[in-house]
Amino acid sequence: MIQHRTTTVDGHELFYREAGPADAPAIVLLHGYPTSSFMFRHLIPLLAGRYRVLAPDHLGFGYSAAPSADEFDYTFDALADLTSGLLDQLGLDRYAVYVQDYGAPIAWRLALKHPGRISAIVTQNGNGYEEGFVDSFWTGLWAYGANPGPDTEPAVRAALSYDAIRWQYLHGVPDPSLVSPDTWEHDHARVSRPGNDEIQLALFRDYQHNRPLYPRLHEFLRTHDVPVLAVWGRNDEIFGPAGAEAFARDARDTEVHLIDGGHFLLESHLDVVAGYLHGFLGRVLK
Protein backbone atom coordinates (compact mmCIF):
# COMPACT_ATOMS: atom_id res chain seq x y z
CA MET A 1 0.00 0.00 0.00
CA ILE A 2 1.28 3.47 -0.90
CA GLN A 3 0.61 6.20 1.63
CA HIS A 4 0.21 9.77 0.38
CA ARG A 5 1.34 12.32 2.94
CA THR A 6 2.09 15.98 3.43
CA THR A 7 4.40 17.48 6.03
CA THR A 8 5.90 20.89 6.73
CA VAL A 9 9.63 21.48 6.31
CA ASP A 10 11.06 24.94 7.02
CA GLY A 11 7.57 26.39 6.71
CA HIS A 12 6.78 24.75 3.36
CA GLU A 13 4.35 21.90 2.74
CA LEU A 14 5.96 18.95 0.98
CA PHE A 15 3.97 16.05 -0.42
CA TYR A 16 5.50 12.57 -0.51
CA ARG A 17 4.59 8.97 -1.24
CA GLU A 18 5.77 6.29 1.16
CA ALA A 19 5.53 2.52 1.18
CA GLY A 20 7.24 -0.55 2.59
CA PRO A 21 8.38 -1.73 6.03
CA ALA A 22 9.64 1.06 8.27
CA ASP A 23 12.65 -1.03 9.36
CA ALA A 24 13.70 -2.12 5.85
CA PRO A 25 16.63 -0.59 3.93
CA ALA A 26 15.50 2.75 2.56
CA ILE A 27 15.51 4.09 -1.00
CA VAL A 28 14.64 7.69 -1.82
CA LEU A 29 13.22 8.36 -5.29
CA LEU A 30 13.95 11.87 -6.61
CA HIS A 31 12.06 13.00 -9.69
CA GLY A 32 12.99 15.33 -12.53
CA TYR A 33 11.41 18.08 -14.62
CA PRO A 34 8.54 18.52 -15.38
CA THR A 35 7.08 15.71 -13.33
CA SER A 36 6.81 14.71 -9.67
CA SER A 37 6.65 11.57 -7.55
CA PHE A 38 3.88 10.62 -10.00
CA MET A 39 6.64 9.26 -12.26
CA PHE A 40 7.31 6.53 -9.67
CA ARG A 41 3.68 5.48 -9.20
CA HIS A 42 4.26 2.05 -10.80
CA LEU A 43 7.80 1.48 -9.49
CA ILE A 44 6.99 2.02 -5.81
CA PRO A 45 4.82 -1.12 -5.44
CA LEU A 46 7.57 -3.22 -7.08
CA LEU A 47 10.07 -2.07 -4.44
CA ALA A 48 7.91 -1.84 -1.34
CA GLY A 49 7.97 -5.55 -0.52
CA ARG A 50 11.66 -5.38 0.38
CA TYR A 51 12.46 -1.70 0.95
CA ARG A 52 11.18 1.39 2.67
CA VAL A 53 10.42 3.66 -0.28
CA LEU A 54 10.09 7.43 -0.08
CA ALA A 55 9.26 9.65 -3.08
CA PRO A 56 8.82 13.39 -2.40
CA ASP A 57 7.57 16.12 -4.71
CA HIS A 58 10.07 18.98 -4.89
CA LEU A 59 8.73 22.38 -3.88
CA GLY A 60 6.96 23.88 -6.89
CA PHE A 61 6.17 20.45 -8.37
CA GLY A 62 3.38 17.92 -8.10
CA TYR A 63 1.32 18.27 -4.95
CA SER A 64 3.91 20.10 -2.85
CA ALA A 65 3.39 23.77 -2.14
CA ALA A 66 4.41 26.19 -4.86
CA PRO A 67 5.16 29.60 -3.36
CA SER A 68 5.80 32.17 -6.05
CA ALA A 69 9.31 32.89 -7.32
CA ASP A 70 9.07 36.22 -5.44
CA GLU A 71 8.35 34.42 -2.16
CA PHE A 72 10.95 31.63 -2.45
CA ASP A 73 14.39 31.58 -4.04
CA TYR A 74 14.14 28.53 -6.30
CA THR A 75 17.61 27.04 -6.61
CA PHE A 76 18.89 23.50 -6.53
CA ASP A 77 20.64 24.32 -3.25
CA ALA A 78 17.28 25.30 -1.76
CA LEU A 79 15.47 22.20 -3.06
CA ALA A 80 18.24 19.98 -1.68
CA ASP A 81 18.01 21.68 1.72
CA LEU A 82 14.27 21.00 1.85
CA THR A 83 14.81 17.37 0.84
CA SER A 84 17.48 16.99 3.51
CA GLY A 85 15.11 18.47 6.08
CA LEU A 86 12.36 16.06 5.05
CA LEU A 87 14.64 13.04 5.37
CA ASP A 88 15.85 14.24 8.77
CA GLN A 89 12.24 14.66 9.89
CA LEU A 90 11.47 11.09 8.79
CA GLY A 91 14.54 9.69 10.54
CA LEU A 92 16.37 8.50 7.43
CA ASP A 93 20.08 8.52 8.22
CA ARG A 94 21.06 5.82 5.71
CA TYR A 95 19.46 5.36 2.30
CA ALA A 96 19.95 4.63 -1.37
CA VAL A 97 18.91 7.23 -3.93
CA TYR A 98 17.20 6.72 -7.28
CA VAL A 99 17.60 9.87 -9.34
CA GLN A 100 16.29 11.11 -12.67
CA ASP A 101 16.91 14.48 -14.33
CA TYR A 102 16.55 17.23 -11.64
CA GLY A 103 16.70 14.58 -8.94
CA ALA A 104 20.37 14.02 -9.73
CA PRO A 105 21.80 17.42 -8.70
CA ILE A 106 19.58 17.36 -5.63
CA ALA A 107 20.97 13.96 -4.64
CA TRP A 108 24.55 15.03 -5.34
CA ARG A 109 24.11 17.83 -2.80
CA LEU A 110 22.72 15.36 -0.25
CA ALA A 111 25.74 13.11 -0.79
CA LEU A 112 28.22 15.95 -0.41
CA LYS A 113 26.48 17.24 2.73
CA HIS A 114 26.21 13.83 4.44
CA PRO A 115 28.42 11.38 2.52
CA GLY A 116 28.02 8.62 5.10
CA ARG A 117 24.28 8.46 4.58
CA ILE A 118 24.31 7.30 0.95
CA SER A 119 24.26 3.50 0.69
CA ALA A 120 23.90 3.27 -3.11
CA ILE A 121 23.11 5.40 -6.17
CA VAL A 122 20.76 4.48 -8.98
CA THR A 123 20.80 7.00 -11.81
CA GLN A 124 18.21 6.76 -14.55
CA ASN A 125 19.01 9.51 -17.03
CA GLY A 126 20.31 11.67 -14.20
CA ASN A 127 23.53 13.41 -15.15
CA GLY A 128 26.74 13.83 -13.16
CA TYR A 129 29.27 14.42 -15.95
CA GLU A 130 29.81 16.91 -18.75
CA GLU A 131 29.66 14.06 -21.26
CA GLY A 132 25.96 13.51 -20.73
CA PHE A 133 24.68 16.82 -22.08
CA VAL A 134 23.19 16.65 -25.57
CA ASP A 135 24.12 19.94 -27.24
CA SER A 136 20.96 20.26 -29.33
CA PHE A 137 18.90 20.40 -26.13
CA TRP A 138 21.21 22.32 -23.79
CA THR A 139 22.64 25.13 -25.93
CA GLY A 140 19.60 27.36 -25.38
CA LEU A 141 19.49 26.68 -21.65
CA TRP A 142 23.18 27.51 -21.18
CA ALA A 143 22.65 30.75 -23.10
CA TYR A 144 19.67 31.65 -20.90
CA GLY A 145 21.59 30.90 -17.71
CA ALA A 146 24.52 33.03 -18.81
CA ASN A 147 22.42 35.95 -20.04
CA PRO A 148 18.73 35.76 -19.02
CA GLY A 149 16.55 38.19 -20.92
CA PRO A 150 14.22 38.68 -23.87
CA ASP A 151 16.75 37.33 -26.37
CA THR A 152 17.32 34.02 -24.58
CA GLU A 153 14.09 33.39 -22.66
CA PRO A 154 11.80 32.33 -25.54
CA ALA A 155 13.87 29.23 -26.30
CA VAL A 156 13.60 27.91 -22.74
CA ARG A 157 10.05 29.09 -22.14
CA ALA A 158 9.07 26.81 -25.02
CA ALA A 159 10.01 23.87 -22.77
CA LEU A 160 6.92 24.63 -20.68
CA SER A 161 4.57 23.99 -23.58
CA TYR A 162 2.28 21.00 -23.97
CA ASP A 163 4.12 19.78 -27.07
CA ALA A 164 7.54 20.04 -25.42
CA ILE A 165 6.43 18.10 -22.35
CA ARG A 166 4.81 15.46 -24.52
CA TRP A 167 8.06 15.22 -26.52
CA GLN A 168 10.02 14.55 -23.34
CA TYR A 169 7.95 11.41 -22.82
CA LEU A 170 7.85 10.13 -26.38
CA HIS A 171 11.21 10.87 -27.97
CA GLY A 172 13.45 7.83 -28.29
CA VAL A 173 10.67 5.38 -27.40
CA PRO A 174 10.42 2.57 -30.00
CA ASP A 175 6.73 1.97 -29.22
CA PRO A 176 5.09 5.26 -28.14
CA SER A 177 1.80 3.46 -27.51
CA LEU A 178 3.35 2.14 -24.27
CA VAL A 179 3.48 5.64 -22.80
CA SER A 180 0.25 6.76 -21.16
CA PRO A 181 -1.01 10.25 -22.05
CA ASP A 182 -1.71 10.61 -18.33
CA THR A 183 1.98 11.50 -17.96
CA TRP A 184 2.20 14.63 -20.06
CA GLU A 185 -1.38 15.68 -19.29
CA HIS A 186 -0.64 15.54 -15.56
CA ASP A 187 2.68 17.33 -15.82
CA HIS A 188 1.49 20.06 -18.15
CA ALA A 189 -1.46 20.81 -15.87
CA ARG A 190 0.85 21.29 -12.87
CA VAL A 191 3.41 23.36 -14.79
CA SER A 192 0.59 25.55 -16.15
CA ARG A 193 -0.61 26.72 -12.74
CA PRO A 194 -0.50 30.52 -12.39
CA GLY A 195 3.03 31.61 -11.55
CA ASN A 196 4.61 28.20 -12.03
CA ASP A 197 6.30 29.34 -15.22
CA GLU A 198 8.46 31.75 -13.21
CA ILE A 199 9.38 28.93 -10.82
CA GLN A 200 10.55 26.79 -13.70
CA LEU A 201 12.44 29.64 -15.34
CA ALA A 202 14.28 30.28 -12.06
CA LEU A 203 15.42 26.65 -11.99
CA PHE A 204 16.40 26.78 -15.66
CA ARG A 205 18.62 29.77 -14.83
CA ASP A 206 20.12 27.99 -11.85
CA TYR A 207 20.89 24.70 -13.60
CA GLN A 208 24.32 25.96 -14.70
CA HIS A 209 25.40 25.95 -11.04
CA ASN A 210 25.11 22.18 -10.92
CA ARG A 211 28.08 21.66 -13.21
CA PRO A 212 30.74 23.01 -10.80
CA LEU A 213 29.63 20.32 -8.30
CA TYR A 214 30.65 17.50 -10.61
CA PRO A 215 34.34 17.30 -9.60
CA ARG A 216 33.28 17.05 -5.96
CA LEU A 217 30.78 14.33 -6.87
CA HIS A 218 33.51 12.40 -8.69
CA GLU A 219 35.78 12.67 -5.65
CA PHE A 220 32.92 11.42 -3.46
CA LEU A 221 32.47 8.39 -5.73
CA ARG A 222 36.20 7.61 -5.65
CA THR A 223 36.64 7.92 -1.90
CA HIS A 224 33.42 6.52 -0.44
CA ASP A 225 33.02 3.33 -2.49
CA VAL A 226 29.34 3.94 -3.08
CA PRO A 227 28.02 1.43 -5.64
CA VAL A 228 26.32 2.92 -8.72
CA LEU A 229 23.71 1.51 -11.07
CA ALA A 230 23.28 3.59 -14.23
CA VAL A 231 20.17 2.35 -16.03
CA TRP A 232 19.62 4.69 -18.95
CA GLY A 233 17.39 5.26 -21.93
CA ARG A 234 20.08 5.24 -24.58
CA ASN A 235 17.94 7.22 -27.05
CA ASP A 236 17.54 10.15 -24.66
CA GLU A 237 18.08 13.45 -26.50
CA ILE A 238 18.51 15.37 -23.23
CA PHE A 239 21.06 13.25 -21.35
CA GLY A 240 22.93 10.97 -23.74
CA PRO A 241 24.36 7.53 -22.91
CA ALA A 242 27.86 8.92 -22.43
CA GLY A 243 26.53 10.36 -19.18
CA ALA A 244 25.77 6.85 -17.95
CA GLU A 245 29.07 5.35 -19.03
CA ALA A 246 31.07 8.11 -17.35
CA PHE A 247 30.14 6.90 -13.84
CA ALA A 248 32.41 3.89 -14.34
CA ARG A 249 35.42 6.22 -14.32
CA ASP A 250 35.04 7.09 -10.66
CA ALA A 251 32.82 4.51 -8.92
CA ARG A 252 34.64 1.21 -8.49
CA ASP A 253 31.40 -0.76 -8.29
CA THR A 254 29.41 0.40 -11.31
CA GLU A 255 26.77 -1.30 -13.42
CA VAL A 256 25.78 0.42 -16.67
CA HIS A 257 22.77 -0.74 -18.65
CA LEU A 258 21.71 1.14 -21.79
CA ILE A 259 18.12 0.37 -22.72
CA ASP A 260 16.27 1.05 -25.96
CA GLY A 261 14.17 3.88 -24.56
CA GLY A 262 14.06 7.61 -23.92
CA HIS A 263 14.18 10.14 -21.09
CA PHE A 264 11.32 8.69 -19.02
CA LEU A 265 12.33 5.05 -19.17
CA LEU A 266 9.92 3.86 -16.50
CA GLU A 267 6.97 4.58 -18.77
CA SER A 268 8.08 2.13 -21.48
CA HIS A 269 10.49 -0.28 -19.72
CA LEU A 270 9.29 -0.51 -16.13
CA ASP A 271 9.88 -4.25 -15.73
CA VAL A 272 13.35 -4.07 -17.27
CA VAL A 273 14.42 -1.25 -14.95
CA ALA A 274 12.85 -2.96 -11.92
CA GLY A 275 14.70 -6.16 -12.75
CA TYR A 276 18.09 -4.44 -12.83
CA LEU A 277 17.16 -2.48 -9.73
CA HIS A 278 16.24 -5.55 -7.69
CA GLY A 279 19.42 -7.34 -8.73
CA PHE A 280 21.60 -4.35 -7.86
CA LEU A 281 19.95 -3.46 -4.55
CA GLY A 282 19.82 -7.09 -3.50
CA ARG A 283 23.56 -7.30 -4.04
CA VAL A 284 24.69 -4.03 -2.45
CA LEU A 285 22.22 -3.44 0.38
CA LYS A 286 23.11 -6.00 3.00
Q: Which helix (H) or strand (E) holds 277?
A: helix 270-284
Distance of CA 191 to the CA centre of its chain: 16
Residue pair 204/148 in contact (Cβ under 8 Å)? The answer is no
d(CA 172, CA 265): 10
Angle at which helices 182-191 and 162-170 cross, to 10°: 140
Fill in the amino acid letter for 74.
Y
Query: Residues 12, 31, 263, 269: which is the catalytic one?
Result: 263
Contact of 26 with 51, CB cutoff 8 Å: yes
- β-sheet with 3-9: strand ranges across: 3-9, 12-19, 52-56, 26-30, 95-99, 118-123, 228-233, 254-259
Indicate if 263 belongs to the active site: yes
Instruction: Cis check for the bond before 194: say yes or no (omega within 30 of 0).
Output: no
**109-135 per-residue burial string, b: 16 or more CB within 10 A, e: under 16:** bbbeeeeebbbbbbbbbbbbbeebbee
Coil vs helix vs strand at 222: helix
Active-site residue set = 263
